[in-house]
Amino acid sequence: MELYLRGDIEQAWGDSDPFQEVEKLQGDIYRNKEGRVTLQTQINGKSFFVKIHRGIGWKEIFKNLLQLRLPIIGASNEFAAAEKLAALGVDTLTTAAFGKKGINPAKQHSFILTDDLSNTISLEDYCADWKNNPPSFAHKKALIALLAKVSRIMHGAGINHRDYYICHFLLEKNSLADLSSPQCYLIDLHRAQLRKKTPQRWAIKDIAGLYFSAMDIGLTKRDCLRFIKIYSGQASLKNLNVSFWRAVNDKALALYQKDHGQPSPCEKWW
């Protein structure tokens, strides 16, 4: 068994079994399927989000494996990814409690409780009208730089997200007082993978997903090249791994075609 309780949660639950306390939590349910429930809840008047994994069963595990997908069997990856990203200086989920018990992956019981990032707006919602009402150049440049930096740190540390879209970045509203210095939290880490080094194909998948999710907000080719330079850590575009970025571009364009049934409004980079 693995268990972590922050001081406020340890005090709230006392000597009770944390796994039983988690199951008593009630609130607004955001997801309840495939052995996982996600809900917003209150503990001593403070808002939290909790994900409870109750085991997905061998049938679901084999189904995922046959589809060449890694099954999500518990909260361990999300906990580990959040802790590592925070240690790297990336704004992300703050874990208040985590627990895991059971060896059988099909029946493993686990949970992760995180602080509610209440004063935020997803980048998907925040940028939705950019095409019609563009932001200032400095603000857009700052956000692009932030996402490129987070992506570079994450992949450089051996983490890939697997659900890497702008909707999974939450913009802190208080940071909008200074548009040149936005603050975003990276969330939904339950599918994240942690290794010593991020395989190129998974880095491509992440960046392509991020680009695909931002294709309707009015990005220009210059915006994309700015992201590429920062992510690559190159002062010039001459030394880029062009095959990597072609793969990112092609995958993002294909995702858009598949999802929207029409070509992307964004042009090819090369």
Catalytic positions, please?
Answer: 163
Residue appearing with tokens 């998974």 = 202
Half-sphere exposure for 250 (CA within 13 Å, toward CB): 8
Give the integer Cα–Cα distance in Å for 193 and 158: 8
Distances (CA, A) of 165 to 122, 151, 214: 10, 11, 8
Q: Which helix (H) or strand (E) holds 29?
A: strand 27-33
The number of beta carbons lying within 10 Å of the beta carbon of residue 16 is 10
